[in-house]
Structure 1
Amino acid sequence: MSPRGVARAPARLQGLPPVLGPDTRLLVLGSFPSVASLRAQQYYAHPHNHFWRILGALWDLPLSDWPYAQRVAALLEHGLGLWDVYAECEREGSLDSAIRAPRLNDLGGLRARCPALRAIAHNGGESWRHARHTRALGVAVERLPSTSPANASWSLARKTAAWAEVLARHGIPVRVPPGAQGGG
């Protein structure tokens, strides 16, 4: 509410550009960047998000300690890309449930941008809602457990094991064998 008691419309937010390369084999699609990610202009910038910790464990690299440009370079070297299903939306806070009036990114153009693309992995349920769009690209489509701190029902070990299986299945090398992270 504004000081005069009139409800304000949420701000129209713009997402981040994709992290893609000609050798991208697996694209991880989130829903839309968090407030922390938009502020930093970096994917998965919230300190409690497990994304960088999971990949760091799977590749035996201290990704969480590296500068963002070095993290992105490591992703591309491993054949992994990042993007979101939404290009823009209205949202208060960071929860996917607060997303309003979203506009999709140009997912149809992915094959041209990523000729080596073998699969798309949706990071979480909101992204997964758009699997029908990514299936139309003719590549494998996977659902990954969200790396968000809001996904507290999955332990870090269980998330890591699920991510290891999907990455390995689509030719992204992992140093930790799928399932080795164990339990839940």
Structure 2
Amino acid sequence: MSTVSGRSTGGDTRISEGSYPAALRAVDAALTAADEVAGGLYPAAFCAMRPPGHHALPFQSMGFCLFATASILVRYIQEQHGLRRVAVLDWDVHHGNGTQHVFWEDPEVFFVSLHQHPLYPGSGLEDERGEGEGLGATLNLTFSPGTPEYAYLARFEEEAAAALRGFAPEFLIISAGFDAPRGDPLGGLR
């Protein structure tokens, strides 16, 4: 399917000539940052890249995400740096369904998603906690449209941050979405 703005990947993700190279550079930036943090060069790193890839599945782009960047980064950190306990903190108005899917049965990866519900992609209910050995390694915190900032921040500190401290990850990845503020056309948080 061709469009003026580019091609479709078969779903809601449109691409243009520069999309694939840009997505590869985003993954490379994340891997480079991980090397530098895990190697002790820096205590933390921030990669300004869009999108973080939290909707992409292993073999399917989705939700404007070409690659599952955070998921790729987790496996890279585990395999290249020997850090087993990795946490992914995902704040976005949308649930990080792709990241959750990849680590659904993995007890060594703790996935925390703070998102509005109901909203695309329709997943991320609070009773979705993982499965098998990964049961309890997923935490979904949902917010109704119109949730005020103070309520969001209270749950972040009391539930998300507390759970992350309890998991005690060797490495933390933040998949930061920037579509939750008041006035964003895709969400309804305040």
Q: Normalized against structure 1, the TM-score is what?
A: 0.38
Q: Normalized against structure 2, the TM-score is what?
A: 0.37
